[in-house]
Structures are given as structure tokens and as C-alpha cells.
Amino acid sequence: MGYTNYRGLCDDYPTSRVLAALTLGLYTALVIASLIGQFYKQWKLKTNRIGHREVNYISIARNPTLMVLGTITSYIFTLVQLLRVVISRKLFPCFMFSFTYWMGVPGLAAIILGRCVRLVALTWMNQLKVKIGKRKLLSQSFMLENTESRSLLMDENRVELMSASNVELQSLSGVSISQSFSSIGALMNEDQQDLGPATNVESSSEQKEKKDESIVTRSNNETANNKRNSENSEEIIRLGSSRFDKQKLRMYRFFTSSKFIAILFALIYGTHLIIYFSVGVADYFNVQSGSLEKLQNKKLSFVVGTHLLSEQGCGNGTYNLVVMATYFGAYLILLLGFVIVALFMKNDVWKIKWELSLICVGWLLSTITYAVPSFFSDITTLVDYFFPWQLFLIFGCIWDTFVAHFLPVFVYQRNRNSSKPRDSQSSGGNSSNHIKKCLTSKKWNSKFLLFNEKSYCPEDVMMWNAIEQFKMIKSNKKRVELFRTIVRTYILIGAPLELNIARSTNGIPEIIELCNSINETNLESISISISIFNEIQQVCEHNMVDSFLRFHSEFRKELEQELGIKFEDI
Amino acid sequence: MGNIVVSPHDKEGQHHMMATPTSNNPNGGSAATAKNKSEITVLLLGAGESGKSTLFKQVQFFHGVGITHDQERIELIEIVRLNVLENAKNLVAATQHLNIPIEQPENRETAKLIINSLNTNDLEDPSWSKRLYSLWKDAGIQKAYENREKFQLYDSTEYLFENLDRICSDKYVPTVVDVIRTRTKTIGITDMKFDVGDGKQLRLVDVGGQRNERRKWIHFFNTVDAVVFLTSLSEFDLNLYEDNGYWRVKESLRVFNEVVNNALFYKVPFVLLFNKRDLFEKKIATKSFSKYFSGFNEAEEKNPVACIEYMTKLFLNEITEHPLDTVSVKTLSAIDHDNSKQVFEEVKQFIMTQQHRE
């Protein structure tokens, strides 16, 4: 393609320039739009102007740094390639042009590599998070009960001796305290019967009946709850040790972070720059000490032959093409491995797998159309002046930017918005909105949870979080399992973290019925709607209003500064 | 999170209610060892919707806390409107459930909107005042309202619907009465402190009353100096919110029995407050009281005093352990400011004298 010898270098035909200029203009517009769009949407997400339940297609599933880096790399490659045609190959600084041959393939491959690693790490991380979250749910409820039973034991010195084991058992297994203190009362009655007559003789027989009743129900509860208890602890053991998981989680977090992207890019760029400059230095000394004949030998004269120092522009030399082809081959093998692993990932919540496959297909097509005719230099040499052959590579770049940047910013993110108009519409300053805002912020969510724990009402926030988690799960089996755990922890009467909620509405009868119908054999076949807990989640939000107002008066300033939560002034 | 002490003289500054109950501290001392301490902890107990929080809000109000300030009440707009919506929703749902059609077509439209899409922000629009009021006055809804013992409905319903023209306006600021009247289900436990003279402080603890909330009460049982147990007189025809097939009176009696006979309260002054006297008197004028209590003389059922006397006996019969001379029984209408102030003053005096005696 083109002549390597600068003496034979001709200018491109106008058709070539027009095509190059058009493509460059189009691509520039696409890049600018994507970047501006991305920053705007990110800002919107950050200030929470998009509804809180919005799926975040930009800054969680995708890494904004990677998106920007990828687009910029493609764009620089394109810019150098096309500007050279537009300006004229004779004038364009040759070192820049040949540089893209050395760096283009590694740079573009790094982006795809980054995407693959991210996709794999993200999927594994989510699977792990679901696992950990489930365990947390269980252990939290256990912890709470433990503290409950501990304080019970400490508080009631008198009762302790008689009913310590009872209280411990019952509160551990989640029997309501009112029940357990009724049994304490019953035991007390028994004990004090001979100390003094009951105040009201008339009712004492009735009392006795009641007492017997409560003892019976207590023992029933005990056995039932012991059974449930052991089931729970089995589940905990089955879920594995948490320290190992935490390390794994940290590793996945690293692989999905911007830090990893930065390190990956630095590594790849660094390696190739070192190669580039070492070859350059070696060639330079060759030129300095060598003869003119050597200079004529293109393969050895990197500096002059590829015109690092040329003042008159250059064509794309065979030598550069060989370098590019070598890199391409090496990265193709590496990427193939990663892409195949990535495409085997199960879930595709944020369309990243879909995106990756589209990009790979794009690159495959563009490199084939570019590379195959390159073997027949007669074709390319003749055509190149009329039609810049590298446009095929550029199309690959444009496709890459379009799929990986433009689509997520403008199509995926917007689609969600318009399908849920009510979310974005309710921007008014009311407390249920404030509560949602507070709950969707990671930091404030845990702060609010802690606050509620101190006011003895953590169950609504915990349930709310569990429901959010439930909605994120894609695997049917895991969803059924979490569904069961939620029902047993929060919804059943006497559950360890029983919610304060009306039982006859909010879809609760249906939920309990569904939960009862689940057994080990049909675990796989049952499908549960992702919105099954929506009504309950709303009740949880309503339940929080009371404690949120108190929370708000304590953190008024911080809530206003960090989340923009403010009740209207008069 | 510190506890803010509120005194009647503290008019501006710190009107934030404290949120952290101090008894998180396990060294808080038990009732037996704390006779002469400077803080008197009074628990407000009772089943759901017995009026604990209403009394709590009234006491806050006498002491210039929270809702006396416009700014604090503005934060409650949402709650008032949520009450309106919930009442409307419950009424509409009841018409379906009870097979009473809403009569006017335009009210049926309104009902549809209420069930499907209406949210509290929409109520800023004054046109909703007319629509909701017209729905409220619909013969079908009124008939459902007359049968309100068959479903769950807040006591505030009538009041809120009659005040829609204020509530449905973008300039709406809830009045103190609005705040007292609105129902907010208490979740967890909250408290407030105020000076009662003699260098003593009274710490009033408010709790949730539903079954799941009751298991949390025990956290406070060891630090108690007095218990005020509320029960609603007007619940004789109602079933539980958390278990819609369980008679509320039975639940109240059961909870009362558990609390009053608890060993930890054996030496503690105990006040039984029969709340919602106002509603009760209205209710027995139209509903049969004796229908629910087989032991009650039917001829006396329109006489509130006789009814209350009967209820008192019913509750006192539950007491088997607690010494009767440290139990005081009173009636109350917690939504009535003057009445609550007077009754609470009496309760305070009773508790203080009991404390003194020991």
C-alpha cells in the first residue's frame, strides 16, 4: 500500500481525501457526542436525577475510564490515519504515522482485553455477592437474636435461674418475646402459688387454664423452631467460609476497578513503547555506523526507512506492516482465549456480553477486509490512492466506539428512563422520595440501618435491602432460595425479624402459599416474579417514615449536603 | 447520638427528638436499685392503635418539642397526605370487598385513580380536594364507612376528609391537630425526656404495639419506674391489623395480662388508661356494646359510664400478681389536648407519689 520510498510518494486523489475527511468528521461527531453524553448521564446518576431504581448502564456495569480510554485510543488511531490522507502524505509527520502501526494493535487489543476481564470478574463477583449477601442475611438475624437473648439474660436476674434456657432457646429461634414472657409469667405463677394467693380468686382457675395452654404452645414452638434453626445453620455451613470469599471478592473488585484498567494500559503501552524505542535506538546506531547500502535495506533501517526522521512524509512500509501483523497475530491468540471465556459467562444483565460479541464481530470483519487484500500488493497499491485502504480498520474503530460507548450512553440508559416515567417524575421534596434516596446511597443506607438498630427497628431497612438484592438475582435457583430465606426471616409470623405489616394484604397470603409449595424436588422448576415483594417493599418504606424523620433531624446538614435531601421551607 | 434533654423552657434551639434510647446501656440499673435516681422512666405500652404515640405527641406538644414548630410540621405533610391516601384506598377496597358499589360514575373514576396511580405529590393540586370529597360523600363509600368494623381503617378518616380543602393545597402546613390526628404506625422504640421539678427528669418511652413490636419491649423492662398501659375503648368491634381475625379486645386483655403480671413490674406503679373515650361514646350510640360482651347487661349498653365500668372490671380481673393499690385506672381522649394534658398531669402525680412512698 503506497510507496515506502519517499521519492515515489504521490498525493492522494480527491476521492480518497473526501472519503477520509467525511469519515473523520463523522467519527469526531460520534466521539464528542458519546463523551458529552456519558459525562452528562454520569452526573445525572450521581446526583440521582434518574429514578432510584434505574439500572445503571454506565458507571457500574461498565467502567467509565475504560469507555473513555477505549474511545480515545480508537480516535487517535483514526485521527492519525485519516489526517495523513486529508493533509497529504507528503507533509504529514512520518513518525506519527508509523507510530500508529507499532501501537495501534496493542492499544486496541488492550481495550478488548480489559472488557473481557471485566465481564468475567463482574459475573463472578455478582455470583459471590449473592452468596455472601445471603449468608449475611442469615447471620444478621442470628446476631440480632443473640443480643436479644443476651440482654434478656442480663436484665432478668430473678427470672434467669428458672427460665434462662427457655428464654435463650426461644429468642434464638425467633419466638415472639411476648410469648416468651408469657411463659415466664406462667412459670412465675407456678413458683409463687404457695407464697401468696392470687389477687383475684375468681379468675385464678381461668388463669391456670391459660397457663397450661401457654406451656403447651411453648413446647410446640420450641420443637418447630429448633428444626428451623438447624436448617438455617446447615445453610450457613453450606455457604462456605467467609474469609476466603472476602479475599475473592477483593480480587474481583480489583479486576473491575479503574485501577486495574490503568495498570493494564500502562503495562501494555509501556511494553510496546520499550520495544519501539529499543528497535529505534538499535537502528539509529546502525545508521550512524553503517554504510549507505545498509540504508537502502528497508528491513534494517527503522529510523530512516520507516522515516522516523523523514521530513517529507511516508507511505506505510512493509516493515511496519510486518510488525503490525506480528502484534496482531499475538494478540489475536491471547484475545481469542479471553473472549471465549467471557462469552461463556451466564448472565448478561447490563448487555455487556452482547456488546462484547458485537465488537468482536466488527473487528473480525474489518481486519479481514483490511488484511486479506493486503497480501496482493498490486490491488492495494493501485486502489490506495483512490480509496484509503485503512478505512476498513477505521470502520472497526467506529463500530467499537458506537457499540461500546454510544449505545450504552444513549440507548440502554435512555430506554430505561422512558419505560419508567413515574420514577423520574417524582422529583418533589417528599419524605418517601428522601427515604429512597437515602436507601440507595450505600453509605447512608448503612447509617440509617445502624440508626434503626438503635431504635429497635432494623427489620424494615434489612428487608428493603434484601428485596433489592432479590431483584438483582438472575439465576432461578438462587432466587428461589433467597425468596425462601426472606419469607422465613421477615414474613412468617414469629419470624426472627418479623415485619410490622398487615397479613391479609400486600400479596402476603400468596407469598406464604408459594413458599409452602417449595420443596427440594421442585426447587428448580418454580419461577418467582421479580416484583413479588414490591408491595411489601413499599410498606417497608412507609414503615420507615417515622424513624426517618428522626434520622433526618439528627443528620439534617449532612443529608442536605450529600444527598440534597431537604424538606421545603415555609 | 446524644440524648437531648427537653425542658419546657427550651423554646427554640434543640427541638430535635432524641432517637437513641439510653437503655442501650446494659448497666442502666434495675427498677429495684434505682428508687432515688434522678430519672424516672415511664413506659407507654399497649396493643396496636391504642393511642400510645398520640399521647406521646401530646406530651411533646405540652413541652414545646417537635410539632410546635412549623418547620417540624412541614416535614409531616407527607404523612398527613399518606394518611388521606391510605384511608381512601382502604375505603375503596372495602367497597369492592363488601360488594357495595360506588354510586356516582365520576367517583368510580376517582376510585380507579386512587387505587392505581395517585401519589402524595398529586394532592398538592386543589382539584383533588373536590374529587376526594365527592368520593367521600358518595353513598357507597359512606355505607362502607358505616361498616368500618369489617375492615382496617384509621380513626382519622372522617377528620381528614373534612379537612381536604386545606390538605390539598400547595401551601399546606399541617396544624398541630392534624399531626395529632394522623396515624403513624410506630416501629421500634423512641423516647423523650423532660424536667418534672425536684431536679428530676421524666423519660417517656413510646413503643410500637403490634405483635412483632412487642417482643422489643423487653429491652426496656429492667429500667422501668412506671408503666402506663393504654387500651382503646372503641376497639370492641374491631379485629387486629396484624391478624385480621383476632378480636382486638382479646388481644389487649392478653397483652395487659402479660405486662401487669410480669415479675419485673411487681413493684412498679401501673396506670391503665382507657383511651378514645370520645370515639367510644359516639360508637355506642349507634352500635350494640352488649353484642360483644355476653356478661354485660343489655339494658345499660347506651350508658358509657356503665360500659366503661364493665371494661374496667374485665381488665382488673386479669391482674393476678400486681398489688392492686399501685394500679390506677383512668379514661382518656388522647386527641383532645386539654384532656390529655389533665390526664397526663394526674398520671405524673400518681407516679411521683408512688415513687415517694417507696
pLDDT tens-digit map of A364-415: 888 888 877 777 766 666 777 777 777 888 888 889 888 888 888 887 766 4
Q: Is B278 annotated as a binding residue?
A: yes
Residue among B344, B253, B324 at smallest CA distance from B42: B344
Amino acid at residue number A308: L
Provide the chain A residues 425-444 that lie in CB contact (below 8 A) with chain B. 426, 428, 430-432
**Residue B346 confidence class, pLDDT cut points 50, 70, 90:** very high
Which stretch of A20-29, B7-16, B81-90 has the lowest confidence by average pLDDT? Answer: B7-16
- CA neighbours closer than 13 Å in the CB half-sphere of residue A480: 16
A479 touches chain B (CB under 8 A): no
Q: Find the Cα–Cα–Cα–Cα dihedral A80, A82, A87, A89, rounded to 10°.
A: 80
Q: What is the mean pLDDT of residues B128-139?
A: 90
Q: What is the pLDDT of residue A290?
A: 62
Q: Does domain A430-563 have CATH number 1.10.287.70?
A: no
Are the beta carbons of B23 and B224 closer than 8 angstroms? no
Angstrom CA distances, B331 to B257, B274, B293, B304, stand at 19, 4, 20, 11
Q: What is the pLDDT of residue B194?
A: 85
Q: What is the pLDDT of residue A57?
A: 65
Q: What is the pLDDT of residue B161?
A: 92
pLDDT tens-digit map of A416-431: 433 333 333 333 445 6
**Residue A312 confidence class, pLDDT cut points 50, 70, 90:** low
Q: What is the mean pLDDT of residues A249-268?
A: 86
Instruction: Kindly report the average pLDDT of chain B as a whole number.
Output: 82
What does the DSSP assignment read for A75-140?
A: HHHHHHHHHHHHH-TTTS-HHHHHHHHHHHHHHHHHHHHHHHHHHHHHHHHHHHHHHHHHHHHHHH
Are the beta carbons of B40 and B200 closer than 8 angstroms? yes
Asked if A503's CB is within 8 angstroms of B26's CB, the reply is no
Chain B nearest-CA distance from A465, in A, is 17
Q: What is the pLDDT of residue A266?
A: 92
Q: Is B52 annotated as a binding residue?
A: yes
In the residue annotation, B138 being an active-site residue is answered as no
Q: Is the pLDDT of residue B26 over 60?
A: no
B225-259 burial, b if ≥16 CB within 10 A, otherwise e?
bbbbbbbbbbbbbbbbbbbeeebbbebbbbbbbbb
Q: What are phi and psi of A330, to 5 degrees?
A: -60, -50
Q: What is the mean pLDDT of residues A97-104?
A: 80
Asked if B212's CB is within 8 angstroms of A570's CB, the reply is no
pLDDT tens-digit map of A329-347: 888 888 888 888 888 876 6
C-alpha cell at A162: 428458672
Q: What is the mean pLDDT of residues A254-273?
A: 88
Q: What is the pLDDT of residue B55?
A: 92
Instruction: Given the residues B41, B49, B235, B237, select the one marked as catalytic.
Output: B49
Please tell me the distance from the alpha carbon of residue B45 to that of residue B231, in angstroms, as a whole number. 9
Angle at alpha carbon of residue A504, lines to A500 and A506, rounded to 5°: 70
C-alpha cell at A117: 476481564
At B39, which helix (H) or strand (E)? strand B39-45
Q: What is the mean pLDDT of residues B31-49?
A: 73
B317 vs A155, A200, A498: nearest CB: A200
Q: What is the mean pLDDT of residues A60-74?
A: 84
Q: Is B286 annotated as a binding residue?
A: no
Q: What is the mean pLDDT of residues A235-240?
A: 46
Q: Domain extents for chain A?
A: 14-137+247-411, 430-563
Question: Considering the domain A14-137+247-411, what is its CATH architecture?
Answer: Up-down Bundle (1.20)
pLDDT tens-digit map of A16-28: 888 889 999 999 9
Asked if A500's CB is within 8 angstroms of B258's CB, the reply is no
Which stretch of A134-143, A212-221, A538-547 has the lowest confidence by average pLDDT? Answer: A212-221
Q: What is the mean pLDDT of residues B237-256?
A: 86
- The count of CB pairs under 8 A between chains A and B is 182
Tell me the residue length of chain B.
358
**Using CB atoms within 10 A of its CB, is residue B338 exposed (0-12), middle (13-18) or buried (19+)?**
exposed
Please tell me the distance from the alpha carbon of residue B165 to that of residue B168, in angstroms, as a whole number. 6
Q: What is the pLDDT of residue A314?
A: 63
pLDDT tens-digit map of B51-62: 999 999 899 888
Q: Is the pLDDT of residue B6 over 70?
A: no
A550: Cβ–Cβ under 8 A, 6 or more apart, which residues? Answer: A451, A455, B16, B17, B19, B190
User: What DSSP designation does B138 have?
Assistant: S
Please tell me the distance from the alpha carbon of residue A453 to that of residue A459, in angstroms, as a whole number. 8
Q: Is the pLDDT of residue B95 over 60?
A: yes
Q: What is the mean pLDDT of residues A549-555?
A: 85
Q: What is the mean pLDDT of residues A63-72?
A: 87
Strand, coil or helix: what is B9?
Answer: coil
Residue among A411, A407, A395 at smallest CA distance from A356: A407
**Residue A293 confidence class, pLDDT cut points 50, 70, 90:** low
What does the DSSP assignment read for B175-195?
A: -HHHHHHS-----SEEEEEEE
**Residue A239 confidence class, pLDDT cut points 50, 70, 90:** very low
Chain B nearest-CA distance from A455, in A, is 5
Please tell me the distance from the alpha carbon of residue B56 to that of residue B180, in angstroms, as a whole number. 10
Are the beta carbons of A380 and A318 closer than 8 angstroms? no
Instruction: Kindly report the average pLDDT of chain A as a whole number.
Output: 70
B184 vs A152, A156, A545: nearest CB: A545
pLDDT tens-digit map of A147-203: 444 433 333 333 333 333 333 333 333 333 333 333 333 333 333 333 333 333 333
Q: What is the pLDDT of residue A531?
A: 83
| Structural domains of chain B ordered from first start | 39-68+186-357 (3.40.50.300), 77-173 (1.10.400.10)
Distance of CA A549 to the CA centre of its chain: 31
Q: What is the pLDDT of residue B17?
A: 38
Q: What is the mean pLDDT of residues A296-304?
A: 49
Please tell me the distance from the alpha carbon of residue B173 to that of residue B140, in angstroms, as a whole number. 31
Are the beta carbons of A46 and A416 closer than 8 angstroms? no
Q: What are phi and psi of A479, to 5 degrees?
A: -65, -40
**Residue B97 confidence class, pLDDT cut points 50, 70, 90:** confident
Asked if B187's CB is within 8 angstroms of A503's CB, the reply is no
Q: What is the pLDDT of residue A267?
A: 92
Please tell me the distance from the alpha carbon of residue B287 to that of residue B237, in angstroms, as a whole number. 9
Could you tell me the pTM of the whole model?
Answer: 0.54
A57: Cβ–Cβ under 8 A, 6 or more apart, which residues? Answer: A350, A351, A408, A409, A412, A413, A416
Find the closest chain B residue to A202 by CA distance.
B317
Please report the ipTM that was assigned to this predicted complex.
0.79
Q: Is B58 annotated as a binding residue?
A: no
- CA neighbours closer than 13 Å in the CB half-sphere of residue B144: 28
Q: What is the pLDDT of residue A28?
A: 93
Distance of CA B345 to the CA centre of its chain: 18
Are the beta carbons of A450 and A550 closer than 8 angstroms? no
Q: What percent of chain B has pLDDT over 90?
A: 16
**Residue B274 confidence class, pLDDT cut points 50, 70, 90:** very high
